[in-house]
Amino acid sequence: MLDLWLSGFLSLFQVQQLAFLALGMAVGLLFGAIPGLGGTTALALLVPMTYGLDSFSALALAGGVMGAVPMGGMITAILLNTPGTAPNAATCLDGYPLAQQGKAGLAIGAGASANALGGIIGTISVLAVLPIAREIVLLFGPPEFFLLVISGLIIVATTSQGKVLRGLLTGAFGLTLAFVGYSNVSGIERFTMGNFYLWDGIRLVPSLIGLFAIAEMINLSVKGGSIAGDAKNVKITNMSQGLLETFRHLGTVWRGSVIGTIVGAIPGIGGTVASFLSYSMTVQASKDPDSFGKGNIEGVIAPEAAINAKDGSMLIPTLAFGIPGSAEMAVFLGLLVLHGMQPGPLMLVEHQVEIYSLIWALTASCVMASFIGLALVRPLARVTLLDTRILVPVVVSIAMVGSYSVDQTIENVIVTSLFGMIGYFMIRYDYPRLPFVVALVLGEGTERYFHQSMLMSDGNWMIFFERRICLILIASTAFLVFLPSIRAVFRKLRGTSRTAPGGRS
């Protein structure tokens, strides 16, 4: 086992491999930062380039890309409320308020180190789990997935501080939109009005770009000035402070990484949910939940740790069974096949060294990308001082083109604009966006897994109560949901008073 780790590591340390790792990292950083582009596009771009290469170089390139993308996405999320990739949307929630307070440097610094730590923890978890990956994948079937999805929805909806009703409302809204499109469960298309574009439903990335980036740009146009408010009061804090912050909140890093690793391993649920769930649960576990949405540094650390942890674990179903958990993984799968590595049960047996080399590449890229991010903190943070009259049109342009480029469909731009308007209203009228996003991602899974479970059990609802993992999931969700009530009771017993509701999410 250890010798495999070592050979994987050593195979990475050749000049050519390192060069490709660096190239992948640079591309990943850039593509991660631009909304609409991301790991999927970066990999899709580079895959044909790897055609003649040996597998190790190709994997070093892929690992480089996948490890660096989240860091790129984090930077625009914090500075411009523009999630570079979908999971980074959770980072916007507290990262952007920090930038508005002139603490962009702090946020980026903390996020970068959370990135690195989360990635390392995720890697260790993956390496530990890989030998039993197959067994784990086989434990989770449609009934388990259904309960997971429901739990995710419940947890996120109930942790909207003081706004549970509106949280449920926006969550329901997300669910209704999730059902738009063709469903291979029933074989018909719903709510599409015969439109080709809507066959595939409401795409996540264009709606997120609208909901977070465009909405905030509208907000800035109305407010005027610059992101970081009054230029005189701004201090671009340096990175060491950010680094220290992360180490002060190691519990949050740990929690985020664990959530990221677990959720990332579930195909189809993946990244965005991991980061939002990590955020929600950190809010819930915090002693000061109402400070979230206003610039609590833990609100940056939690999702970023989760995002990088998930990168490693997303490989598990992909490598173990060739089941890609996301579009990015699907492209990565294509890369593997192109190089004669058929993912599946054989892969873990025949190409072990390559796998470990990939995982090392992923980790190395993640850590190095964090360093580069930290090095660029000062110049990057200056963006928050730009006049919005210049900043807004430029960001809107790039965001819209990015939205289009997700799959080269111009209708994405319309979706983005609509969600920009809706997102703006959600900011102004204080409706939480978080449950909406999670519901949009998980929505169609709810129906699908339920339907499959019913077919498996011939309509018997007891299937959710007969399987071991299902019972564990029900128990843990109930525990997590009632946790705040339990803690409130304990607090009352100890005599501390509850703070007033509020906050923005």
Provide the Cα torsion 364, 114, 436, 332; round to 10°.
0
Residue whose CB is less far from another protein, 56 or 431: 431
Closer by beta carbon to another protein, 80 or else 117: 80
Q: For residues 5 and 290, which CB has a smaller minimum distance to another protein in the complex? A: 290
Cβ 210 to another protein shortest distance, Å? 9
Q: Report the nearest approach of another protein to the CB of residue 247 (Å).
A: 26
Helix or strand (DSSP H, E) at 142: helix 142-158
Kindly tell me which of 96 and 449 has the beta carbon lying closer to another protein.
449
Amino acid type, 100? Q
Provide, rounded to whole angstroms, the least separation between the CB of residue 63 and another protein: 15
Please, what is the minimum distance in Å from the beta carbon of residue 186 to another protein? 5
Least separation, in Å, of the C-beta of 394 and another protein? 5
Q: Which is nearer to another protein, 7 or 417 (CB)?
A: 417
Distance CA 274, CA 259 (A): 6
Q: Which is nearer to another protein, 294 or 451 (CB)?
A: 451
- Please, which residues have CB within 8 angstroms of residue 325's CB and are 6 or more apart in sequence? 264, 265, 266, 267, 268, 269, 270, 314, 317, 318
Shortest Å, Cβ 310 to another protein: 18
DSSP 190-250: ES-TT-HHHHT-S-HHHHHIIIIIIHHHHHHHHH-SBTTS-GGG-----HHHHHHHHHHTH
Q: Cβ 418 to another protein, closest distance in Å?
A: 9
Angle between helices 142-158 and 164-178 (to 10 degrees): 140
Contact 447, 183 (CB under 8 A): yes
Q: In this complex, which beta carbon is closest to another protein, that of residue 350 or of residue 471?
A: 350
Query: Quick one: 257 or 370, whose CB is closer to another protein?
Result: 370
Distance linking the first and last C-alpha atoms of the chain: 45
| Residue 307 identity (one-letter amino acid) | I
CB 345 to another protein: min, Å? 3
Task: Give yes or no for a contact between 130 and 265, defined as CB atoms under 8 angstroms apart.
Answer: no
Alpha-carbon distance 274 to 326, whole Å? 13
- Residue 244, classified by CB atoms within 10 Å of its CB into exposed (0-12), middle (13-18) or buried (19+), is middle
